[in-house]
A and B are shown apart, each in its own frame.
Chain A
Amino acid sequence: KQEVTQIPAALSVPEGENLVLNCSFTDSAIYNLQWFRQDPGKGLTSLLLIQSSQREQTSGRLNASLDKSSGRSTLYIAASQPGDSATYLCAPSRGGGADGLTFGKGTHLIIQP
């Protein structure tokens, strides 16, 4: 059974800092991995999807890397802003198609103005 761990569990930093959120997973036989953000009591917003054949994926100030063999992914947030405050979740998928995602418990991020 896939287990996903996210470190740190919580992070509070002043705005402008560059951040690194870590995700590790026990079963490296994944097809892809998605990063989401979730605001309190709200739905999940997809940030990035990285295929197992990719090493990196970028969207604006966000960059996700994937090392499938070691079971690790990293989300890098550049020049953090108060609007980035949310919980960030990583979720690997074991197969393509309609397979469900396994989520970590997330990193709760607070960016201080």
Chain B
Amino acid sequence: AAGVIQSPRHLIKEKRETATLKCYPIPRHDTVYWYQQGPGQDPQFLISFYEKMQSDKGSIPDRFSAQQFSDYHSELNMSSLELGDSALYFCASSPVAQGNYEQYFGPGTRLTVT
């Protein structure tokens, strides 16, 4: 079965640079979620989109922005990167319009800021 696809899988950036993470949800899933998991930490919810509209917002820094496109893929844009942004970034998807709210996670993007 198709899963959530995230790219790139690994990314190394320097402080103050920008990064863009991409997420391709499972086919026919209309909702995308972004999470950040720091080393040894539990995942923290950042933001979600349903049918291309922002739906819920968590602890997303102002330096980060995200959007969902017409083909339902999503991008997380991160600017002025800090050392503390080094983490695993997960995307998850759900077919909410079908009444299924179970979240299916992708393999993650490991971001290292040096």
Interface residues, chain A, with chain B CB atoms under 8 Å away? 31-32, 34, 36, 41-46, 49, 89, 93, 95-106
Identify the closest chain B residue to A96 (Cβ).
B101
Contacts of B24 in A (CB 8 A): none
Using known A-B contacts A31-B101, A34-B102, determine if residue A98 contacts B42 with beta carbons closer than 8 Å.
Answer: no
Contact status B56-A98, CB under 8 Å:
yes
Q: What class of interface size applies to chain B in its complex with A? A: 20 to 34
B80-114 interface code vs A (CB 8 A; 1 in, 0 out): 00000000101010101000011111111010000
Considering the chains assembled together, what is the distance between the CA atoms of A16 and B96 in angstroms? 38
Contact status B50-A43, CB under 8 Å:
no
**Among the interface residues A31, A89, A102, which one has the most CB atoms of the partner chain B within 10 A?**
A102
Contacts of B88 in A (CB 8 A): 41
Question: Of the candidates A89, A101, A104, which one forms a contact with B45 in the assembled complex, judged by CB atoms under 8 Å apart?
Answer: A101
Using known A-B contacts A34-B103, A100-B58, determine if residue A43 contacts B42 with beta carbons closer than 8 Å.
Answer: no
